[in-house]
Amino acid sequence: MGRNLLKTEQAITFVKEIFSRKLIQALNLIPVSSPLVVLDGTGINDDLNGIERPVSFPIKSLNEQRAVVVHSLAKWKRVRLKELEIEKGEGILTDMRALRPDEDYTPIHSIYVDQWDWEKHISPNDRTFSYLKSTVLKIYNALYETEREVELKYPHKKAILPANIHFISSEELLQKFPDLTPKERENAIAKEYGAVFIYGIGGKLSNGFPHDGRAADYDDWSTINENQQNGLNGDILIWNPLINSAFELSSMGIRVDKKALLHQLQLRDSMDRAQLSFHHMLLNDELPECIGGGIGQSRVCMFMLKKVHIGEVQVSIWDDQQRERLADQEIFLL
């Protein structure tokens, strides 16, 4: 078993090297360092859906000021674009590591999160659905090409991604499958097309509910774009036949400007956050316009290497009973 695990580790390295190189080329990104922790109370940490608890601890050398382990770097990256004076049309890529202790365990979720977190400086004129779509196509093409390189190196890992990715708004998806839950709708559309980008996630749909939760202060999910669909954000999902389910690889979007931030804070009854450091900078026009997102490293490796459990491609914490049960199925966690 040990040698097989070692081969898996080598294959993980191969996938990460190939895809990160293609992503850098596709989006004109510069690799940079990133933090594991940020100070609490600054508004920098990603609030995800607004209810997940970060890992928090006091720092002795800072008079017991508290720090939090990041959930993701959605807002930190925007500040970093400013600090590094990144030009329009350029961006940054970070190798993000995060902890989400409130995450529910499933074969595709653990409390440890590893992402390619990227952010790109754009012009105000790029705040359009067409720009979002062109960026999604570049990312998907990098995924598509990576899978084919994996197949060349490991012929038994057959490439299955379709050549094209389908675009659909969350409202259109609701109208297409009105009797299904959001996750059931994702399964249905991903199975139909093989790869899909669902856009406009966070705002209420015609049934009175959002497709999924989004924080108010990073992705712009409330702006009406030129196609008259809500939102300038979305998720890349593919169909994963090994687990018979839609499989989210990336969440991304054009980031809020001042107008969208105020609107979304009002919608969420969170105007008190406008006083936080990050939000204050944005409202004072001190931060660049940008687009960004996260792409799950373990998710990509799991799909490319045709694994059925995320623990096969990342080291996390699992209970002994689960390890034993999976080992009986010849599924060995790292």
Lowest pLDDT segment from 4-8, 9-13, 207-211, 283-287: 4-8
pLDDT over 70 at 26, yes or no: yes
Confidence of residue 45 (pLDDT cuts 50, 70, 90): low
**304 in Cβ contact with 147 (< 8 Å):** yes
Collect all residues with Cβ–Cβ distance below 8 Å to 7 and sequence separation of at least 6.
none
**Tokens read off for 79:** 């500040």
CATH number at residue 174: 3.30.930.10
Collect all residues with Cβ–Cβ distance below 8 Å to 147 and sequence separation of at least 6.
159, 160, 161, 303, 304
Which of 110, 251, 297, 314 is catalytic? The answer is 251
pLDDT per position as a tens digit, 111-126:
888 999 999 999 999 9
Q: What angle do CA 230, 234, 240 make, to 5 degrees?
A: 140
Which of 115, 222, 264, 314 is catalytic? The answer is 115
At residue 292, the pLDDT reads 96
Q: Is residue 148 part of a domain?
A: yes
pLDDT over 50 at 5, yes or no: yes
Choice between 230 and 278, residue whose per-residue pLDDT is larger: 278
At residue 73, the pLDDT reads 85
| DSSP E strands, 70-122 | 91-99, 112-121
Is 100 labeled as catalytic in the residue annotation?
A: yes
User: Residues of the chain with pLDDT > 70: what percent?
Assistant: 94
Helix, strand and coil in the chain, % to nearest 5:
40, 25, 40
**What is the maximal distance between C-alpha atoms in the chain?**
58
Per-residue pLDDT averaged across 7-34, rounded? 95
Which of 20, 46, 119, 147 is catalytic? The answer is 46
DSSP state letters, 172-227 = HHHHHSTTS-HHHHHHHHHHHHSEEEEE--SSB-TTSSBSS---SSSB--S-B-TT
pLDDT per position as a tens digit, 292-322:
999 999 999 999 999 988 888 987 878 777 7
Read off the amino acid at residue 230.
N
**Tokens read off for 73:** 């770097």
Torsion-angle region of 110 (φ positive above 0: left; ψ -120 to 50: alpha; else: beta): beta
Give me the number of domains the chain comprises.
Answer: 1
At residue 48, the pLDDT reads 58
Q: Is residue 333 part of a domain?
A: no
Across the beta sheet with 195-199, the strand order is: 29-32, 91-99, 112-121, 290-296, 245-254, 233-240, 195-199, 166-169
pLDDT over 60 at 227, yes or no: no
Is 251 labeled as catalytic in the residue annotation?
A: yes
pLDDT over 70 at 23, yes or no: yes
Is 235 labeled as catalytic in the residue annotation?
A: yes
Mean pLDDT (the chain) is 89
**96 in Cβ contact with 72 (< 8 Å):** yes
CA–CA separation, 41 vs 301, rounded Å? 34
Per-residue pLDDT averaged across 231-254, rounded? 95
Which of 117, 217, 235, 289 is catalytic? The answer is 235
pLDDT per position as a tens digit, 165-190:
999 999 999 999 999 999 999 999 99
Read off the amino acid at residue 18.
I
Which of 248, 257, 289, 312 is catalytic? The answer is 248
pLDDT per position as a tens digit, 51-109:
677 778 888 888 888 888 887 787 889 999 999 999 999 999 999 888 887 777 777 88
Sign of CA dihedral 216, 186, 245, 11: negative
Q: Is residue 185 part of a domain?
A: yes
Which of 100, 127, 214, 255 is catalytic? The answer is 100
Residue 134 domain boundaries: 2-328
Q: Is residue 334 part of a domain?
A: no
**38 in Cβ contact with 68 (< 8 Å):** yes
Is 115 labeled as catalytic in the residue annotation?
A: yes
pTM over 0.85: yes
Per-residue pLDDT averaged across 243-268, rounded? 93
Confidence of residue 228 (pLDDT cuts 50, 70, 90): very low
CA–CA separation, 100 vs 107, rounded Å? 16
Q: Is residue 48 part of a domain?
A: yes
